[in-house]
Each structure stands twice: as structure tokens, then as C-alpha cells.
Chains A and B, each alone.
Chain A
Amino acid sequence: MQVNDHMTPDNGSLLHNSVQPDSRPLAIEARGLVKSFDGTRAVDGVDLSVPEGAIYGVLGPNGAGKTTTLRMLLGIIDPDDGVRMIFGHDRPHDIGRLIGYLPEERGLYPAMKSIEAIAFMGALRGLPLAEGRKRGLELLERHDLAHAANRTIRQLSKGMAQTVQLLGTLVHRPRLVVLDEPFSGLDAINQGKLESMIRALADDGVTVIFSTHVIHHAERLCEGVAIIAGGKVPYAGSVESARDRIPAQVRLETRAREGGWTAALPDAARREGDFFYFPLPETGVEPLLKTLIEGEAGILSLSIERAGLHDAFVAIAGEAAAKQLEADQQGDAK
């Protein structure tokens, strides 16, 4: 386990359920972040701990408070309450050169050439323009976009423009990359490319935090997630720990339908067709197997399925948040 695991109840207090799992310093540490807009509390006591080099996801439905949280972490807006530290600094602009940010609302100057746009974004983070152009060209070549270097942004396709902006986010070689809904609007191929880029960044020791409402991106990429719903973070920790919160499910198929052996099944067992489903007993399946064999249940199949992040999300954030998340994903697909 590489990420601090903790559950935060509704009142936002921090309840660590594990000790510091590794010795990596924290790239991001936030405690009790609060932000209200026009009397509505958009973020309500968010805690985050992201170690350096981690890929971390902020998972939640639209309107949950993901973007507001990221904006507070970056210093775009200040929290009403709470503290945030980026690489130990409480003022993110003081370490602007170490951060790269891709906002959810993508945008570039339409009349600017791609190479200039990348260099300009680097210059905003302290990279000299000439070096930005040089690195930009290398990055464009690496992503098969060298031909677009001197095209203006308005001449590019959406996908190309998004890639250009992403390259601009990375051109100054930041140590922390913050991506707000980076997969939004991308086709499957480009989503795959982006996943590869994120993994490559982490391999180079770069910390990546991204927000998403698509569970499988977080599940595939992240070692840690913060589940956010209604402005609160009911869970922040490793993906593995989140999945472990739901006991593995046992699926049992027997030839016999009735018998004394059924008394050995857990109380929570339910029958659906030819199968029994029940949570994996704390004692494991071995004692149960013995009873089933002695009771001549006739075991046809038995499988143990570990819970996925989606199941964990439902259990942690609740059915309503999970349904909204699914609706958001379907909206994206359309």
C-alpha cells in the first residue's frame, strides 16, 4: 500500500485507518478544505494526502466538488477554511515552475501557432521561450504532430489541440501534474494514449493527480483515490484498500438444492437461480467446503470474486452518487 488510507465521516474529521504506509514525502497535503459560493458549500472539509510519484484520482460525479478542490490546491481560488500544502508550500504560486495544470475548460489563443502556444505555456512556468520552442518541437515530433508545429490553434482538430495543450502543460517538466477531467472529450484511442502518457510521467517520478467521473480510468491508473460526493470526501486512500472495504463475493453452484449443508451458508447468502451468492466468510471457504462435501451438496462450481472500485464507490459514496456517476459517464459516451 502506498497511499495513506483514511475514511472521513460526514463531519469531515480525519480518521486514519492505517499508519503511514511508506516513507515518500507528500506532494500534496490538504486538511479541512472548505469553499462556499453564494451560500452553497461546494467543498466541505476535504482532506487529501498524495505522496510524490503517485498517480492519484479524484473520483466523483459532476458537481461533487472536484474542480473546486483542484482549483484550491493550485491557488486559483483560496479556501474559506483549511490548509493546502504543495511540496511543503502553502502558496502554490511560489512553486509555479514545479506544477503543470490542464484545466477542464481547455483553451488556447486561437491565432497562436502550436509551437508558440507550447512555448508560451512553458514561459508562464519560467521556461525561456527559445527552450520552450525547442522542447515543444521535440514533444510534437514524439506525438506525430511535428507537421502541426506552425499551424495556428484554430487550424487544428479538437484532438490535436487538446494534445498541444497537454504538451504545453508538460513542456517545463513539472514535478506535479494536475489534470482536470483529462479524458473528457477524447476518443478511445486518445484516451489510451493519455493513459500511457500518465504512466510514463509516473515512471519518471512525476506526481499526477487527475479528476474524473469515469471509474475505470481511476481503477486502471491510480494507486490512490479520493472519492468525493456532495463536497465531502468520504474516502481517501489506496484503490486496493477501497476495494478491500467490500468483502469478496463467493458464487457457489451445487447439484443439490436442499440439504442440511445449507445451514452452513452465511446468513447473508442469497439464492439467484442455480447460484448462491454470499460474502466471503472471515474464516475463508475451507470449513464451508468441508461441510458441503460431507453434506453431499454436489459442488458444480465455486468462485471468489474480489470487489471492484465501482462496488467500493457504491458502498462508500452511496447509491445516489453512484447513479449520478453512471449518468455522467453515459452523458460522456453520447
Chain B
Amino acid sequence: MSAHDQAAIDASPRLSKLEAAWVIARRDFVAVLFSRAFLFFLIGPLFPVLVGGLAGSIGGQVSRQAVTIEVGLAMSAEDNAAIIAASDRLRPQLGGAIPALREVTEAQDDPKFDAQAFMEERRGNYAAIVTGSLAAPEVVGTEPHVNRWKGPVELMAADAMAASPLAFPSSRTTTVASSAASERTNRIRTAQAAQMVMFLLTMLLAGMVLSNLAEEKGNKVIEILAAAIPMDSVFMGKLFAMLGVSFVGIAVWGTLGWGFWAIAEDAIVTVTQTNFRELPGPAVGWGMFLFLGVLYFSMAYLLLGALFLTIGAMASTVREVQTMSMPVTMMQLMVFFLAAYTITQPGSALEMGAIAFPLSSPFAMLARAALEETLWIHIGALAWQVLWVGLLVKGGSLLFRKKVMKSGSAGTKKKRGWSFRRNSSEMEPAE
């Protein structure tokens, strides 16, 4: 270090709060990123996705097989052939309203075939069986299936008996890209999807902050930090470190997700029942929406993180931190439900409340970005949220100094010596 640098240090005898927060953030970020546990953290969420995808795929296949509707034919061979030909003619116009037809093989060589007994013996895999003749068809099956297929069977029989097949006129169609009603409905879907993604990410990632100060308390480093820099810088540094780690995680998961999408788009659409390509564009446009999404995720993370950091810092042991996880998760859910509930009530007092309440504000405002084009309100909302991040960090650090960074009662006998390998997270009483 040059004499000039040393003189600069002497001239400015303290780090600014931002510089101090940067020192903490850099240490924590590097420590987390280069730990083995981070690899498990990264691949952790992929397991449920893979398992869910696999289960969904298998379930979908089973479901498709289970719901395949076949109506059995037990009329004469000629009538069977005629009604099958009629179904082929009608299917282009009526699609799913026409059932798949299959001749009941057991009935072909048995003039005394009893469809009712056959169904009650649970033989075959037919929704219903048609007996009788084209002129007088009889539909045998459970009541729902009889009600469901009676009309289509009569339509097919009528067509089969007609001297000439029905002639369908060719209609002209005109489509519109959107209507006011459909646009709003569609954007609500986008708002819901965005809120859900942000909620899942914050729930997955902000929880990490709960146990963040446990390491410092356990290793007794906390007193060194507290003596060197203001506690709110410690809090802020830790929050931003974990936010950085979260962005790394999101980048990795996003890349993997994009890769999955590229190679298995159809399967994902089938399993999720959502075609993400068809998600309607948000009111502010996709570019601005993604930008706001990053900002609101950061705010949601910092707001919840500041709260979690404070709650976690109050815990004396790791077990206490674990016990706190459940109410904290419930609180996250409530915040999410509040924001989600107000999507369909723009401008209502409840939505304003969700925007004003700091913890739900990022979720409510992200939905706004999907539904309304106005941009200036986002500047105001972000400023409001930044203010609350600052307040929560300040309040948390004050509480931490007051409740945790304190000595015990005088005269308490203490353990002495080194604690690098100890895992106690309670501050020893002082003398």
C-alpha cells in the first residue's frame, strides 16, 4: 500500500455503510457460492420438477387410457358397418361429440348375446353397447353414459339409414385477435402465472436467510463484525449476498428450464396444462414486464429476507430456526393469497391495501404490470418498497443489538477458550 493510500485511510477513518455492507456481501456470496452445499441447493429444486414431470407424464398416459371412450356395437354386421361409416362421415363436423365405435366380438357369433348381462359382468371396456337395429337402436350402459351417448347414436343411425348422406354447407369464418373481455381475462392469467412464479421463487429462496446469522453466532464471528461495522450494514450485506446467490440459482434453473423447454415442449405443455408460448402479453409489454419482475422479486426477497433475518437472528439455536420455518411459510402464503385475491379487483380498497402493505406490495404491483399500462405507479411503489426495506433492516439490526448483542448477568461462570469447532449459537455471557 502506498503512503497515499494509507493517508486516505487515515483521512477517512471509517467505511461507509455501503462499503461495509459490500465487505459482508462479498464474503457471504463467495462463501456460499463455493461451498459444496450450494451444488445441492442448485439441484435440489430440480428433483421435484423431475419427479413431478415423470409422475405427470405417467399419470397423463394412464389417464388418457382410462378415459378413452368406446361404444360397442352388437347389432347385425351390416348395421354395424353402416353406423361406423356414418360416424366417419360425421366426425369432421362434430369431433369429440362422436364416440369411437367398435364391434363387440363376443356378440358376432352369439345370436343370444345379452348386452345387459355382458356389461354387468364388467366384461370389455365399453362405455355403452348398442344393440337392436338401425331403425330401433337400444343403448345399454350406466345412466350417465346412456344419457351421454343416446343422442349421438340416434344421429349416426339416422345418417346410416338416410338414402343420401347429409350435405354440410361450408361456412365462412372471421376471427379477431382479441376483445376487451378476452384481453383482460388473458392478462389475468399472465398476472397469476407471474405471481405464482415469484411466490415460488421467494418461498424457495428467502427461507435461506432465516439461518443466515446462525453461522456468525455459532462461530462467534458476530462480535468481530459488530465491533467493526454498524449492524445494519451486516444485515444489508447478508441480504444482498443471498439475493445475489438467489439470482445465480435462478439463472441456473432458468437455463435448465429453457433447455427442458427446447427439447420437451410438448411434454411440458401436456404435464402443466399450460402452453407458455400462448400466455397473453402483459399490459406493459414483455420486456418491461420482465424488468419489473426482476425488480419486484428483488424487493419481495429483500422485504421478506429482512424480516426473516431478524426473526432468525433472534433464535438461539438451529432447532429454533427450524421451528420458526413453519409460521414463516404460513406468513408467506398469506401474503401471496392477499395479493392473488386482489388481481380481479383492481382499484378496490383491498388491492390498495395489498399494494400499501410492504410484504404483499411487490406481488400486487407485478399483477398490476400485467394488467395495466401505467408505468409511473411502479416508480412510486418501488420507492415505497425500498423505504420499507431500509426500515426493516434498521429495525432488525436495532432489535438484534438490543436483544442479542448483550451480556449476561454479572457473575455467571463461563466457558473459556476457542470455539472454532463449537456449534453453540448463543452468545456467551460477558463479564
Which residue numbers of A lie inside 8 Å of B, CB to CB? Answer: 35, 37-38, 40, 42, 60-68, 71, 74-78, 93-99, 101, 103-112, 120-121, 123-128, 131, 134-135, 153-154, 158, 161-162, 172-173, 181, 184-185, 230-231, 332
Residue of B nearest to A126 (CB): B15
Asked whether A121 and B414 contact (CB < 8 A) given A96-B229, A104-B430, A109-B219, the answer is no
Contacts of B406 in A (CB 8 A): 37, 77
Which residue numbers of B lie inside 8 Å of A, CB to CB? Answer: 1, 5-6, 9-10, 12-15, 19-20, 23, 27, 31, 35, 215, 219-221, 223-230, 401, 405-414, 416-421, 427-428, 430-431
Docked CA distance A134–B23 (Å): 18
The answer, among B9, B407, B427, for a CB contact under 8 Å with A127, is B9
Asked whether A128 and B221 contact (CB < 8 A) given A76-B227, A101-B227, A106-B418, the answer is no
- Asked if A105 contacts B229 (CB within 8 A), the reply is no
Residue of B nearest to A127 (CB): B9
Docked CA distance A305–B31 (Å): 59
Docked CA distance A96–B401 (Å): 17
Interchain residue pairs with CB less than 8 A apart (12): A35-B407, A68-B431, A71-B407, A74-B227, A101-B228, A105-B427, A107-B221, A109-B27, A111-B31, A124-B228, A126-B12, A134-B1
Docked CA distance A68–B223 (Å): 12
Instruction: Add 7 more A-B contacts to A37-B409, A105-B220, A109-B215 (CB < 8 A).
Output: A42-B410, A67-B430, A96-B14, A101-B224, A105-B428, A158-B417, A172-B9
The answer, among B19, B220, B229, B414, for a CB contact under 8 Å with A62, is B414
Pair count A-B, CB < 8 A: 162
Docked CA distance A185–B428 (Å): 16
Docked CA distance A321–B132 (Å): 112
Contacts of A230 in B (CB 8 A): 410
- Asked if B14 contacts A97 (CB within 8 A), the reply is yes
Shortest beta-carbon distance, A218 to chain B, in Å?
15
Docked CA distance A62–B428 (Å): 13
- Asked if A158 contacts B418 (CB within 8 A), the reply is yes
Docked CA distance A98–B228 (Å): 10
Contacts of B20 in A (CB 8 A): 124
- Asked if A77 contacts B221 (CB within 8 A), the reply is no
Shortest beta-carbon distance, B231 to chain A, in Å?
9
- Asked if B220 contacts A64 (CB within 8 A), the reply is no
The answer, among B6, B224, B416, for a CB contact under 8 Å with A184, is B416
Contacts of A99 in B (CB 8 A): 227
Docked CA distance A230–B409 (Å): 11
Contacts of A65 in B (CB 8 A): 410, 431
Residue of B nearest to A121 (CB): B224
- Asked if B14 contacts A37 (CB within 8 A), the reply is no
- Asked if B15 contacts A96 (CB within 8 A), the reply is yes
- Asked if A162 contacts B418 (CB within 8 A), the reply is yes
The answer, among A42, A76, A124, A172, for a CB contact under 8 Å with B405, is A76
- Asked if B407 contacts A37 (CB within 8 A), the reply is yes
Contacts of B427 in A (CB 8 A): 105
- Asked if B229 contacts A108 (CB within 8 A), the reply is no
Shortest beta-carbon distance, A156 to chain B, in Å?
8
Contacts of A127 in B (CB 8 A): 1, 9
Shortest beta-carbon distance, A71 to chain B, in Å?
7
Docked CA distance A96–B234 (Å): 14
Asked whether A128 and B229 contact (CB < 8 A) given A65-B410, A68-B407, A162-B418, the answer is no
Residue of B nearest to A78 (CB): B401
Docked CA distance A325–B23 (Å): 40
- Asked if A107 contacts B405 (CB within 8 A), the reply is no
- Asked if B428 contacts A123 (CB within 8 A), the reply is no
The answer, among A35, A40, A107, for a CB contact under 8 Å with B420, is A107
Residue of B nearest to A327 (CB): B413
